[in-house]
Amino acid sequence: MPIKLPENLPAYDVLSKEGVMVMSDDRAARQDIRPLRIGLLNLMPKKIQTENQFARLIGATPLQVELSLIRMTEHQTKNTAAAHMEEFYRPFADVAASGEKFDGLVITGAPIEHLPFEEVTYWDELRDVMDWTQSHVQSTFGVCWGGMAMIYHFHGVQKHMLDHKAFGCIRHRNCAPASPFLRGFSDDMVIPVSRWTEMRRTEIEAAGGLDILIDSSETGPCLVQDPAHRAIYIFNHFEYDSGTLKEEYDRDVAAGTPINVPVNYYPDDDPSQPPQNRWRSHAHLLYGNWVNEIYQSTPYDINEIGR
């Protein structure tokens, strides 16, 4: 089954050309089925690229999914055209005022990890979003900074600055093979990592009520389940395209920012070679498993969520 997107959203054409099943509003209305409603709270500067990445993964399941794009109410993006934001995004204040509910919500990362959470301009509203998920969302997926923000908000687990950027394709181990979120996963896997901060295993374990599902001896915990808050947090980037790390590396090189070559990404770590994607299959498994878990647990009457 396809993911439902507006026909004029750039992701519609991009995913159609890739062979992902997409459906317009008109076609979806003719199907006698309740699609899963999944929101994307997009905090990344390159909104369209992020829309494509998450829609590609969420739309690869056998279920019909309706993707809703959400933004922070007052924060104005500088990297995406205002017309795009006006046409496709709803401010969170409007979503909250409507009383509507969602089967799932993705809270993306944001390039502000050097700031303490309380110094982020939209922190107060983001706290409202996270509290709102407890009564209006069946399952929430916090990604990178978004996951760190959620685990800090709900459990007080701090992020810690690194002395150098964790950057590249890092090998991780499967710590919970029986978890439904890791159904079909190998014992180990490669995951793109791009961050200046870390979450520490000892502090996550000390918080209580949290389960580390994927971990790395090099970069620490990656995927954490928070059953009490119906949430999972991932601190790395399964959603990345094949060239995303390259774009980040080339940007920093062009700006004169000190940066190491992303490890285990280019053949022989040679940036003149095309990068290799070795995480795509596990990315689809993780997001497909998440959508399936939502489908298995969400009430048919979406208004029953949170009751």
Mean pLDDT of 18-38: 67
Which tops the pLDDT comparison, 253 or 31? 253
Residue 33: per-residue pLDDT? 63
pLDDT tens track for 218-244: 999 999 999 999 999 999 999 999 999
Mean pLDDT of 163-186: 96
Instruction: Report the 10 Å Cβ neighbour count for 197.
Output: 17
Evaluate if residue 92 carries a pLDDT over 50.
yes
| Residues classed as catalytic | 144, 237, 239
Looking at domain 3-159+198-240+286-304, its CATH class is alpha beta
Residue 31: per-residue pLDDT? 47
How far is it, in rounded angstroms, from Cα 43 to Cα 109?
Answer: 6
- Domain range annotation of the chain: 3-159+198-240+286-304
Residue 5: per-residue pLDDT? 79
Instruction: Report the 10 Å Cβ neighbour count for 9.
Output: 20
pTM over 0.75: yes
